Structure 1
């Protein structure tokens, strides 16, 4: 049996004396799965994402990602973990406006110590495969929302992460651009990328994930898997 890509055991996160943001959550995600985390505002989706990303620590329980005990990492260890293991895609892109597209994409590789030439070759290949190579020398502000999100995905994939985390990746996009990003996530899943998608949008979850986990008040209330379509098999 494959080692889980993500494993949470009895994870609780409290921020004050009120109800926990996440309560006694246990779940396992296999390598290559595309999983959507659904729930209303305040359900614990962002807390769960932050715990997996090593941006927060549980009050109790364990978080393991790709063999790393994320809950035991110190600040420096968490930064290395995100650099080496995690690619993150955000609702508002988080690109650096004063860097060109290719320099935005190269940045994670530079931080990991990859040689400049190798990093730029990798970035060029990613931009080409995502259909935005023609914008390599442009600045993000000149691109459409869909194009900027493709650049953000290229940056997230730069260091070949074990896990891609997507936080409302179509939330700031128009319908056409959102459809482009949905197709892109499907293609990445078909290529074997492990994806955790956090959203309140059921249609996005149905389009991009083969498993949905629903949170309400910090608890998992549903965990459903549907058959993988032939065109999306690994």
Structure 2
């Protein structure tokens, strides 16, 4: 594995029962500090690819390595530990627990990882402040806007300082203004050094925050294109 690569997939195939391969002989890598958007139509295999990187699914063939760890060979317990320690995940519909406050939602992964409570609370408050929702720390998710809930979900994903942030259609359930806020947030996180891998139908999201765009068609990579940044523009 390339020392600079955080993610490396080698000839990965995923087949369900007797159907066609959801992912078909895919090989690609993501370097530390990149923001890579995976684009493709419904059924193209992009979400399957994200699940393989997350250790939520195993390839039929091939290898998946993340942060030096062979994810494809992990047991269920090992995969759960990997997700707690090395990745953060953001979902389309937030997946916040409605009976917990925003602060307690953010703290949950740290508690599951057994991190010191005082240190975790300090980190959580810092994240909520940075993400602009500190005033909602003791509110319940149902009282927040969609954009605010997604910011809370991002804070939860970052609480354990993951090497990799995975995002599955992070703007898919948001209105235009909230979607723009989340795009700006992901862009800023990447500019601050966070490695991001996201799947999306949102071309504006890919164009605004990705340093590379990978297009998937019928389980295969159709194109892999670096972003063109205008001269003098910040990324």
Identify the TM-score tier after normalising by the shorter chain.
Answer: over 0.9
Contact persistence 2:171–2:202 (CA under 8 A) = no
Q: Which runs of 5+ in 1 are unaligned?
A: none
Query: In the alignment, does 2:67 pair up with 1:62?
Result: no
Aligned counterpart, 2:205: 204
Aligned counterpart, 2:234: 231
Query: How many residues of Structure 1 are paired with residues of Structure 2 in the alignment?
Result: 232
Greater Cα offset, 85-94 or 219-228:
219-228
Q: Which runs of 5+ in 2 are unaligned?
A: none
Aligned to 1:21, what secondary structure does the other structure show?
strand
Alignment of structure 1 residues 88-107 onto 2, 5 Å: 88-107=89-108
Tell me the alpha carbon deviations over residues 132-159 of structure 1, each in whole angstroms, 9 at most, x when there is no partner. 0000010000000000000000000000
Q: Following TM superposition, by how much is the alpha carbon of 1:197 offset from its aligned partner in structure 2, in angstroms? A: 1.1
Aligned counterpart, 1:195: 196
Aligned counterpart, 1:161: 162
Q: Following TM superposition, by how much is the alpha carbon of 1:100 offset from its aligned partner in structure 2, in angstroms? A: 0.4
Cα distance in 1, alignment partners of residues 96 and 3 from structure 2: 35
Q: Following TM superposition, by how much is the alpha carbon of 1:3 offset from its aligned partner in structure 2, in angstroms? A: 3.0
Aligned to 2:10, what secondary structure does the other structure show?
strand
Aligned to 1:186, what secondary structure does the other structure show?
helix
Aligned to 2:180, what secondary structure does the other structure show?
helix
Aligned counterpart, 2:38: 37
Tell me the alpha carbon deviations over residues 169-190 of structure 1, each in whole angstroms, 9 at most, x when there is no partner. 0111011111100100000010
TM-score (norm 1): 0.97
Tell me the alpha carbon deviations over residues 77-112 of structure 1, each in whole angstroms, 9 at most, x when there is no partner. 000000001100000000000000100000110111
Runs of 4+ with deviation above 3 angstroms: 227-230
Call closer, same or farther: CA 1:125–1:226 in 2, change over 3 Å: same
Aligned counterpart, 1:176: 177
Aligned counterpart, 2:136: 135
Aligned to 2:21, what secondary structure does the other structure show?
coil
RMSD: 1.0
Aligned to 2:51, what secondary structure does the other structure show?
helix
Cα distance in 1, alignment partners of residues 121 and 98 from structure 2: 19
TM-score (norm 2): 0.97
Q: Following TM superposition, by how much is the alpha carbon of 1:164 offset from its aligned partner in structure 2, in angstroms? A: 0.3
Contact persistence 2:12–2:63 (CA under 8 A) = yes
Aligned to 1:151, what secondary structure does the other structure show?
helix
Aligned to 1:61, what secondary structure does the other structure show?
strand
Cα distance in 1, alignment partners of residues 168 and 74 from structure 2: 23
